[in-house]
Structure 1
Amino acid sequence: MSDMKIGFIGYGAMARLMGANLRRAGYSVVAFAPSGGKDETEMLPTPRAIAEAADVIILCVPNDAAENQSLNGENGMLAGISAGKLVLDTSTVSPEQALALAKTGAEHGFIVLEAPMSGSTPEAEKGELVMLAGGDAETLERAKPILDVIGKLTIHAGPIGSAARLKLVINGIMGATLNVVAEGVSFGLSAGLDREVLFDALQQVAVISPHHKRKLKMAQDKSFPSQFPTRLMSKDMGLLMDAGRKAGAFMPAMAIADQALALSNRRHADEDYSALLGAMEHSVANTPHK
């Protein structure tokens, strides 16, 4: 492992935590971060430089447009990558983008595994992400030592595009469920329940997932440190709605959550997506109780 160099294109909060775990496991790590923060990792100036220097390239960018920008141009990844290298795409992108990257890989001779993760910064820090893999079994086996460092479990979703679809299912459930919880909180506060009693009770009941209990604690404290920013959750819900229309899926609850998160995104883009709970509470703060 000490001879293998891993290069990140995109080095925001999640990638930095994954990079730290890979360094602790003995890998050499370099990164390109157009907007992400820096740590002790060696930073290189362009995606092209990452592609030239690294044995395995990990894409971890916010959306389709950012991924295409990192791939193309004289300083893009495609200008520096050589045949046979492995690209792990941990970004949450559209299924079409995942398929397009795989096609580009086939044309240029590099190998692609889509590997979006389920989990936020607490799971990334502990190396307990759930990795969703899309691609062939041989490529997954090649990537497994890396995936085993950054995640506790890898689920082979199927061929390229499958992991992107599965990630949208998971995030859609997260977003829709949070919206339902927020509506329940809104009713409880509007109806005059004691605020602390309401939030404390929701921490104790089985119908609230551990993930959403963490979000409720943020709302109770009126502090929303960004484990998963609203702008990214809102983007994912938009991808889901687009994919759902193409598939002919019936998703009214997820559509409502998409709209709620889009509204929350106007004021809370860089706060955790649980800021929707705060926005809901603010909307009823001056409601008279009967």
Structure 2
Amino acid sequence: MTAAQTIGFIGLGAMASRMAVNLAKAGYKAIAYTPSGKGGNGDIAFLATAADVARAADIVLVCVPDDEALETCMYGAAGALAGMKSGGLVLNTSSVSPEATQALFEAGQKLGVTVIDCPVSGSTPEAEAAALVVLAGGSDDAMQRAKPVFDAIGRLTVHAGPPGSGARLKLVINAIMGAGLAAVAEAIAYGLAAGLDRSMLFDALDEMAVISPHHKRKIRMARTGDFAPQFPARLMQKDMRLFLDAAARLAVPVPTLAATTQQLSLTRRAAEDADYSALIGIMEKIVANDA
């Protein structure tokens, strides 16, 4: 019964903490472990190790920033897999490489544990509103087991295919998102350098159908100079790096996205904890200095 189930969070940052709120509304209980060792989120109990969380939870939900954090939290004597029982379920919402995703799936198989790669599309506003899009890779039976959790945190679940498909689809989506933002930033910089009125330019872009709702939100952030992190630059740059590596392994030429990655590396260097849309502000400062 859903009301009796406990979700064990491995990582409880900006996204996962909002998922936890919506899962509580759906009747789930929560416990957590954070790789940083920091904890204290209302009624959620924080345990000493990921293994402790896995032992006490019915479902383990992983939300960590990168491959390295995933390895630290999932493997070894204190890792979550050490605390899992045969028949357990791991929902890996982390945006990590296809290789790390496959390794975790295979490690789970050896223990009789079902692992679904299910990164989410959306930033903190969508996580708060339970409006994420879940990008899931796994069998049909696994999807049915996870459906109540996915329904509680998102507005849509895309069954991308077999294990590993969710991770790959997430790279595709974030690559498009990053390239779109870079194009917006460069085009705005040209408009400002060419003498267009700033207010007029930002107002006009907000009305254009060619710009996605996501990127319009980023343009509005840039207009006011508020780059509070909905999707931090360090994480977007990491996802672009993962995409480039994955594409190179398949010999897929991606010159546009390679250039975008360089722009986002610049953004990460300048403001790694700011929203990745800070690239718009960086480009604006460059042309302002030339004025």
Which bin holds the TM-score, normalised by the shorter protein?
A: over 0.9
In the other structure, the counterpart of 1:182 is 185
- 8 A contact 2:49–2:78 mirrored in 1: yes
Q: How big is the shift at 1:242?
A: 0.2
Aligned equivalents of 1:178, 1:18: Cα separation in 2: 26
Specify which of 38, 41, 66 is matched with residue 39 of structure 1. 41
The answer for unaligned runs of 5 or more in structure 2 is none
- 8 A contact 2:237–2:261 mirrored in 1: yes
Q: Which moved more, 1:206-215 or 1:28-37?
A: 28-37
Aligned equivalents of 1:149, 1:86: Cα separation in 2: 16
CA shift digits 1:124-144 (9 cap, x unpaired): 001000000101110011100
3-state SS in 2 of match to 1:280? helix
Aligned equivalents of 2:106, 2:12: Cα separation in 1: 25
3-state SS in 2 of match to 1:2? helix
Q: TM-score, normalised by structure 2?
A: 0.97
Answering whether residue 279 of structure 2 is matched by residue 286 of structure 1, we say no
Specify which of 132, 156, 163 is matched with residue 160 of structure 1. 163
Q: Which amino acid aligns with 2:138?
A: G
CA shift digits 1:25-75 (9 cap, x unpaired): 110111112336642122112101111100100010001110000012321
In the other structure, the counterpart of 2:30 is 29
Aligned equivalents of 1:279, 1:37: Cα separation in 2: 34
Q: Which amino acid aligns with 2:26?
A: A
Answering whether residue 204 of structure 2 is matched by residue 208 of structure 1, we say no
In the other structure, the counterpart of 2:128 is 125
- 8 A contact 1:63–1:91 mirrored in 2: yes
- 8 A contact 2:33–2:39 mirrored in 1: no
Aligned equivalents of 2:289, 2:117: Cα separation in 1: 47
Q: How big is the shift at 1:250?
A: 2.2
Matches within 5 A, 1:113-262: 113-262=116-265
Aligned equivalents of 1:33, 1:93: Cα separation in 2: 17
CA shift digits 1:116-157 (9 cap, x unpaired): 000000000010000001011100111001100001110011
- 8 A contact 1:12–1:37 mirrored in 2: no
Aligned equivalents of 1:52, 1:65: Cα separation in 2: 22
Aligned equivalents of 1:252, 1:75: Cα separation in 2: 41
Aligned equivalents of 2:64, 2:177: Cα separation in 1: 20
Q: How big is the shift at 1:175?
A: 0.2
Query: How many residues in Structure 1 have an aligned counterpart in Structure 2?
Result: 288
Q: TM-score, normalised by structure 1?
A: 0.97
Aligned equivalents of 2:289, 2:127: Cα separation in 1: 39
Aligned equivalents of 1:265, 1:243: Cα separation in 2: 21
In the other structure, the counterpart of 2:109 is 106
CA shift digits 1:149-200 (9 cap, x unpaired): 0011100111111111100000000000000000100100111111111111
Q: How big is the shift at 1:109?
A: 1.5
Q: Which moved more, 1:278-287 or 1:169-178?
A: 278-287
Q: Which amino acid aligns with 2:21?
A: A
CA shift digits 1:63-108 (9 cap, x unpaired): 1110000012321112211111100000001111111111000111
Aligned equivalents of 1:266, 1:210: Cα separation in 2: 27
Large movers: runs of 4+ above 6 Å: none
The answer for unaligned runs of 5 or more in structure 1 is none
